Amino acid sequence: MDTSTEITDTPPPAPQPSVEQKRAARGATRPGDRIFLGLSRGSGIFLLVIMAAIAVFLTYRASLAISKDHGNFLTTFDWNTSIQPPSFGIAVLAYGTVISSIIAMVLAVPVAVAIALFLTHYAPRRLRGPIAYVIDLLAAVPSIVYGLWGALILVPHMNGLFGWLNDYLGWTGLFSWDQGAPRSMLTVGILLAIMILPIITNVSREVFRQVPQMHEEAALALGATRWEVIRMAVIPFGRSGVISASMLGLGRALGETMAVATVLSPDFLIHGSLLNPGGGTFAQNIASKFGEADEFGRDALIASGLVLFVITLLVNGAARMIIARRAEYSGANA
């Protein structure tokens, strides 16, 4: 039988099936099969084209802006696109994006893992399902609602915490506070943490639930306490899952726009203290500056968006590598 058709990614046919089945399996000998395969493969290729187009068009528009940037695109502490010559740079945005995401991760990941354990191992059995369900729904609350809540409810409540941090940890410099409105990187980080908490909790819970009963029983039969069971059997098994959950959360935090835009009071400086307002993130800056930007200003914002795009790609890739490397030891398929 002639196998040199236009499909290059068909596996070698298994030895037994009839000619009929082989034809069906190859899926391109009948008109109906050919059309259907063409449609579905076309959709897949369409997705690849979109990804390529995102990269190409963002790069093209970004290059228009960067080529006229009078400052240094990477190091300038300014975003002036309407003056001549224009001068803008992403240093402040990169710093703000990274620092707010770090704060969010430091706060959210341990708490999310703890809640996931709470839901799988500690909570009264009758409450586990309903609580998990509610957290699942909270993961679907739109970010703009978190932003509104953050700006109108969270920000006023931060004064006490900021004063307290300033009193006791102000000497570190990181937590000194000039009594300004608490619309600072720390507030942003806390709000981002609250936002990504449900999603990390959900994925981690799913992972912990999949720990085979027999591993936990093995630990119990050795005379382990509940915490020791978790440390011996649950966490090692779930580690790669928790990492991928965290990366999912990190991706959200890095690209979050509205919640940051509503809470932060931005400027173009890097502040030593996390408590004083100022700074900015890529996404927030795009949303805040877009309204008054002319065509060139929009290209400049696209350039900063391209950097954000690359950062999220790197984070995603890193997560994938970590998971792949851990897979052999995770016992997921043991």
Minimum Å distance from CB 265 to another protein? 12
Q: Does 275 bind another protein (CB under 8 A)?
A: no
Minimum Å distance from CB 59 to another protein? 9
Footprint of another protein on 47-66 (CB under 8 A): 47-48, 50-51, 53-54, 57-58, 60-61
> Binder to another protein among 148, 181, 269, 270 (CB under 8 A)?
148
Q: Does 111 bind another protein (CB under 8 A)?
A: yes
* Dihedral pair phi/psi, residue 223, rounded to 5°: 85, 40
Q: Does 168 bind another protein (CB under 8 A)?
A: no
Q: Does 301 bind another protein (CB under 8 A)?
A: yes
In this structure, what token pair is assigned to residue 209? 């639930």
Residue number with CB closer to another protein (171 or 290): 290
| CA–CA distance, 255 with 85 (Å, rounded to integer) | 29
Q: Which amino acid is at 294?
A: D
Answer yes or no: are the C-beta atoms of 298 and 290 closer than 8 Å: yes
Strands 87-88 and 79-80: antiparallel
- Where do we find the tokens 């990492």? 243
Footprint of another protein on 172-201 (CB under 8 A): 194, 197-198, 201
Q: Does 207 bind another protein (CB under 8 A)?
A: no
Tell me if residue 277 falls in helix, strand or coil. strand
> Binder to another protein among 74, 98, 174, 222 (CB under 8 A)?
222
Residue number with CB closer to another protein (74 or 313): 313
Minimum Å distance from CB 23 to another protein? 8
Answer yes or no: are the C-beta atoms of 81 and 66 closer than 8 Å: no
Q: Which amino acid is at 8?
A: T
In this structure, what token pair is assigned to residue 334? 């043991």
Footprint of another protein on 314-333 (CB under 8 A): 315-317, 320, 329-331
Q: Does 10 bind another protein (CB under 8 A)?
A: yes
Query: Alpha carbon of 55 to those of 52, 69, 157, 282, 290: distances in Å?
Result: 5, 21, 41, 17, 20
